[in-house]
Structure 1
């Protein structure tokens, strides 16, 4: 995949991610990110929106399930992945081609929001994996902030003893200098 076209897009989810399962039981999630560039118009002294790009995105397996459980319509997200072209036959039998983003990484944008990352137990390997619970600290401002009304994830088995960032070491090295 070293020669794939890799991009990063920042924008807002147009709808809740759509989770489905293939006939073989693999989870796949599809979602669309709307990204609108803005340019400053020095003559008018105002920002002007450009044309909105609607990028269809997809992810598979456990990653798909994490996305489906974490992201919601309107959230501002940062998505990184590879552009892929896919050919298919629609319901009328016509051949169609789409370009979509095969997601490698996704997360909330923290420009106008806060997120709390909670490690998830990875199936079968015992290694942690991140999820998050978001919240909007600047609810009165525009610009793509979001509010998450979802429940918090539970801690991995073993609790705080297994979380090296969740325990105090009894010194001030972890404390900010101010």
Structure 2
């Protein structure tokens, strides 16, 4: 049982995702702004409430996919574990909320998108390479529980005069 506060945040990407790969685990971080829309009964108009900022951190495959897909200004939905991060600067100690992302995606309320599945395959000498699986070239799904359509014996059509 996970004992972390899991949150889902919808907002707008406020910074360019920063990708760090190096020799370690791939890592990406970016900031998300969240501002609640509120109706002011006195002016009878809608407006934004205070803006909350969250740092989103992603690791491994999610980090790579986020850095290739998410851009500053995009509407996103982020789900993950809420943490408090503390750091030192010349102005003293600071703290802020960090979401350790389990899932990141575009918020389809604001537009449309096309999903492009990435398939990881081991190559020569154990080197991993990543391929895009397009609808024209479906990739083998390692988690599939049913045989692929080409493997199923389809009944032959019966022709009648």
Q: Normalising by the residue count of structure 1, what TM-score does the alignment of the two structures yield?
A: 0.65
| Cα deviations by residue, 1:76-96 (Å, 9 ceiling, x for unpaired) | 000011111234454x5x655
- Residue number in structure 1 paired with 2:17: 17
* Aligned-partner Cα distance in 2 for 1:160–1:77: 27
- RMSD, matched Cα: 3.1
- Residue number in structure 1 paired with 2:103: 105
Q: Structure 1 residues 83, 123: closer, same or farther in 2, change over 3 A?
A: farther
* Aligned-partner Cα distance in 1 for 2:56–2:138: 35
- Residue number in structure 2 paired with 1:55: 54
CA displacement at 1:162 relative to structure 2: 4.8
Which has the larger share of strand? 2
Unmatched tracts of structure 1, length 5 or more: 125-152, 168-178
Report 1:116-127 matches (<5 A).
Answer: 116-124=114-122
Q: Is the 8 A contact 2:26 2:63 kept in 1?
A: yes
| Cα deviations by residue, 1:103-133 (Å, 9 ceiling, x for unpaired) | 1111001112001112110355xxxxxxxxx
Report 1:162-173 matches (<5 A).
Answer: 162=140
Q: Is the 8 A contact 2:80 2:101 kept in 1?
A: yes
CA displacement at 1:99 relative to structure 2: 2.6
Q: What SS does the aligned partner of 2:77 have?
A: strand
Q: Is the 8 A contact 2:9 2:78 kept in 1?
A: yes
Corresponding residue pairs, total: 136
Q: Normalising by the residue count of structure 2, what TM-score does the alignment of the two structures yield?
A: 0.71
Larger Rg: 2
- Residue number in structure 1 paired with 2:81: 82
Unmatched tracts of structure 2, length 5 or more: 123-130, 142-146, 151-161
- Residue number in structure 1 paired with 2:137: 159
Q: Is the 8 A contact 2:133 2:139 kept in 1?
A: no
Report 1:15-54 matches (<5 A).
Answer: 15-21=15-21, 24-54=23-53
Q: Is the 8 A contact 2:33 2:53 kept in 1?
A: yes
